[in-house]
Amino acid sequence: MQYKSVSAEEAVKVIKTGDRVHLSSVAVTPHKLIKAMVERGRNKEFYNVKVQHIHIENKVDFADPEFEGIFVSEQFFVGGNLRKQTQAGYADYIPGFLSETQKMIREGYLKVNVAMIMCSVPDKHGYVSLGTSVDATLAAIETADIVIAAVNPNVPRAWGDAIFHMSEIDYFVEDDSPLYTHDMGVLTETDIAIGKNVAELIEDGACLQMGIGGIPNAVLAQLGNHKDLGVHTEMFADGILPLVEKGVVTGKRKQIDKGKMVASFLMGSQKLYDFIDDNPMVAMMDVKHTNSVNVIRQNDKVTAINSALAIDITGQVCADSIGTTHYSGVGGQIDFIRGAGHSVGGKPIIAMPSVTAKGISKIAPTLLQGSGVVTTRANMHWFVTEYGAVNLYSKTMQERAKAIISVAHPDHREALDKAAFDRFGSHYHFVNNNI
């Protein structure tokens, strides 16, 4: 269907001092629009423009020191491209569950004035698709005063909540830039060991939630002989594709969205983006659906695989900061830890290497001062490292300490055991080691 386009420079003239601008995220980050907006800021044409987004990719300039007072960065999740700026205070972070990002927008806590998105070319009926990322962007489109869309033929026509009518768009800008792609990388020996330990917990017919990176890819690589796995996740990447091709992922045993792979955003290769293009097996949905505990729990055997930066010997999990140094965000970890915990036969899993690249134990007597507890000890079920898997659910504090230390790196177990003894007293020695 025909539409009238304008230049990016013309479109961003609608932004004014004090506005909040929402950006679509990950592979469909609208860089052409961002660059035009930043140029206006560089020319001091407005001030105090709040730039809101979840996780965006590639270099952006609006949080650089030169734009202090011109742009105010509001992130729901801190990625590597804005980590230094955030830690220096030039960018900021909004704590919150991924499931509630859309609520903050829809209910007016974070009023969006301008939504800057990327979408597919309109079809013959006038519908466009958000492609690889719906997340909270649909909420921004629904509530924004003005919607600017970078129309890109490289954006796949994804189904589900990704589809909306072009009449929702106020300004169209032509953009043929390639989508951001992410290489799976090479699995380490530690990744593979953790992957095997997690895979042993996954049953036939399980409904998977996993993210991106070495551990999720290592887990998926172990599941080739499983049957009828389902997918309900906030995101998936290329590691899932071989299981789809082999017929391992079918979704036949799901209680809701049967037969469909449900996600809210994707990041991976062009092959992944081609896979979701016009594919009715994939439903790209609002985080209101993907990350709702009440939705997640409706599927049986939800197996949620998440990672962390550190854990203490009682099961408190830090996943967003290193002490007071902010690193990432809460994301959807708690949404799925709780959702899987309420699922019939569900398994919430925190999986991580036992030590850092420098050999420092990621299992500690206590978390560093200032660390954010994302998953509380009360939310914890399975904890997995390269040395094994332990279930903390229903365990006492001292039993938990024994279990967690049993999967710590051998070089650190003695010190951790002494710290547990100092904390809990002599009775700790009588706690059963066979947790």
Residues annotated as catalytic are: 234
Cβ atoms of residues 345 and 383 within 8 Å: no
Who contacts 414 (Cβ-Cβ below 8 Å, separation ≥6)? none
Query: Can you list the alpha helix ranges (DSSP code H) found in 231-292?
Result: 241-245, 270-276, 287-290
Count of C-beta atoms within a 10 Å radius of residue 259: 13
**DSSP per-residue letters across 349-370:** EEE--SB-TTS-BSEESSPPTT
Joined together, the tokens standing for residue 38 give: 């930043």
- Farthest CA pair distance, the chain: 77
**DSSP per-residue letters across 8-45:** HHHHGGG--TT-EEEE--BTT--HHHHHHHHHHHHTT-
Angle between helices 214-221 and 189-199 (to 10 degrees): 50
Q: Which of 9, 74, 73, 75 is nearest to 45 (CA)?
A: 9
